[in-house]
Structure formats: C-alpha cells, structure tokens
Amino acid sequence: MPTQASNVPNYRKELKRSLPAEVFAADYGNLLWLPVHTALVVGLYWLLATRFSIAWAPFAAIAIGHSMGCMGFVAHDIAHGGTVRKLWLRDLLAGWGFSPLWISPLLWRKWHNSDHHNNTQVKGVDPDHLFTIEDYKHNPVLKFLYRLSPLLRNLVIFGSFTFRMTQQTMRMLIVYLRDPETNGRDKAIMVSQTLLQAGLWFGVSAWLGWPVLVWGYVVPLLVLNAMVIAYIATNHFLNPLADESDVLATSLSVTLPGPLKVLDPLHQYFGAHVAHHLFPQAAGKHARTIERKVAELWPDRFHTMPITRALKLLWDTPWVYEDNATLIDPHRGERSPTLGHGLERPKTRSQ
C-alpha cells in the first residue's frame, strides 16, 4: 500500500535544521566545467579534422560523448536556477550545455523542472515514469517486446539506451507542441531552440568533414545517450509509483564503483538523486553530504546502491507496472516488487 501522506516526514524542514547553511549556498565555480568540457570537445574536433586516424577515432568519440554528457549535467544544474538567476543567461548557458541532445531550455523547464519534479512517479502525470499495465494493453510495441525471450528483450531495451534520451526529448517536444495550454510563443521558442541546437552540431560537424560528423558527433551522441540514460533509468525505474509526494520512496541514489568514483564531480553528482529531488537548487558538490544526513535520519526510507547493482536489478526485472508497487512481465506473468516493497525477493509466476 502507498505510504499515507500524514506519515511522510517533512524531510526538507528537518534537513535544513540539521545541515550547515553552506550546504545550500550557490556554487559559482561549478560553472567553469562548461567551458572546460567545451574546450575538450573543440580540441578533439580539431584533431579529428586535421589528424584523423581510425586507430584512435573510437577513443576520441568516447571522450567527446563523455564531455557532452558532462556539459548536459552542468546544464541540468544551471536550469534549476541555483546559480544563475537571470532567466535569459540561464537559458543561454543551459541551452549550450544541452545542445548536443537538442534539449530546448524552455522545453526542459516545462518537462523536467515543473512536471517531473513536482509529480515524481505520480501515475499518468510524471512524464518520465515507466509504462503501466494499461499502457501495455494499448501498445503493440510493448506487446511485441514482451513476447521476446527475456534475454532478447533486455538486449533491445538496454541497446535503446544509445538513443533513448534523444527519443524522449523529441516525444516531449511533440507533447508540449500539441498541448492546448502551451501558447504559440512558447511553441515557437521551443521549436527554434531545438532546430538551432541540432543544426549547429550537424552543420559544423558536416562542414569539418565526414570523420568529424561520424566520430565527432554521431558516435558520441550514442555514448552520450547511453551515459545519461544509465543514470536516469536507475534514478527512478526501480521505485514504486506514488499517490502522493514522498521523495525518499520515489527516487534512488546510485554510487560509482571503485576507480570510477573520480567521475562523480565531473557528473555533477547526478547519481545523488535523492538529494537532488529534495533540494533541486543545491550545489551538486554538497549532494553526498545531504544524503549522509538523510541516511542518518531515515535509514529505513533512504535507498542507495552502486549503479552496477541497480543496472543488474533493471536487467532482472520487467519494466511494466501492474500496480503502484509491482512490476510485471505481462506475457509470462512474472512479477517483481519495487524498492521499499521487497525488491530483492525472488520473482513469482502467476498461477
């Protein structure tokens, strides 16, 4: 059963009492990551255009895709308004950081800041939650996927990580363009921002030659999508749907294993997603500090694990909600509970 609203602690109020004020201060130094990663991408573009070799081009593509992803993480923080207050400057900087993925800053504010953060895991309202059994009944693609063997289905789903962020961005753009509540001015802004971003990257890359277009943008775009979606999928896809707001129930924080921990600051501590949903405007560098206090105050409510373990659980569980707390393979009748409802218990088969 979903947690009753009266039983959900006032997490933010308690944390603000328990944490030092500097945890909630703006981090302007974080903005410097945007020109750093921009310079890395520009430098590798120059090398691909002037010193191309197929021997090192794949490594360059991975590095470019990673830096583009890091630009996106910085843009995500900028777009929440914790550091840059002026809206035009926020849109300019976030628009550049998001540009490899063609994410319009205005679209992002409507989609992510408003609809996702204010309705996280709320069935039918959060634009980013997984499919429900009602969706499955009316979706021929889902029906086809779940008739495949679990191995083949997972290969298709995890393979889709390489384009899923771009796909979701285009889907959300269409949703808001069709929404009668979106005025004509906003529609024009979202379309023009998207076309400018996509045209810039494709245009410059093609102008510099096919090696840059392929190894400097197309392949990095696959890397970028996969990196971002690996985080986004683990942030929420193992959590239950919600009837009311309980940030600790509807979000999962992940950590990077072993030597990959050095990437945490480069990724703006995006894996500390519980902290982010509690305080979207807080600087990423304080996210782990916030979560240590969360774990201390509410150890039975806070969910965290290594990202490798979370991805393995995503591999082992179906991706359709039967109800708020249960995931189901509709074709085989196999069920898995969600976080907080016994996720690690063995799957059961309906009789």
Token duo for residue 29: 């130094």
**What is the end-to-end Cα distance of the chain in Å, rounded?**
22
pLDDT tens-digit series, residues 190-225: 999 999 999 999 999 999 999 999 999 999 999 999
Q: Going edge to edge, which strands form the sheet with 131-132?
A: 131-132, 320-323, 326-329, 334-337, 348-349
C-alpha gyration radius of the chain: 21
* pLDDT at 2 exceeding the cut of 70: no
Do the bridges between strand 304-306 and strand 253-255 make them parallel or antiparallel, or are there none, so unpaired? parallel
Comparing CA positions, the residue from 166, 171, 150, 168 lying closest to residue 314 is 150
Average pLDDT over residues 106-129: 94
Give the distance from CA 257 to its chain's centroid.
19
* pLDDT at 262 exceeding the cut of 70: yes
Handedness of CA 84, 34, 111, 245 (dihedral sign): negative
Report d(CA 67, CA 161) in Å as an integer: 17
pLDDT tens-digit series, residues 46-98: 999 999 999 999 999 999 999 999 999 999 999 999 899 899 999 999 999 99
Task: For residue 346, give the amino acid letter.
Answer: P
Handedness of CA 93, 97, 99, 101 (dihedral sign): negative
What global pTM score does this model have?
A: 0.93
Please state, rounded to an integer, the average pLDDT across all residues of the chain: 93
State the pLDDT confidence band at 8, using cuts at 50, 70 and 90: confident
* pLDDT at 6 exceeding the cut of 70: no
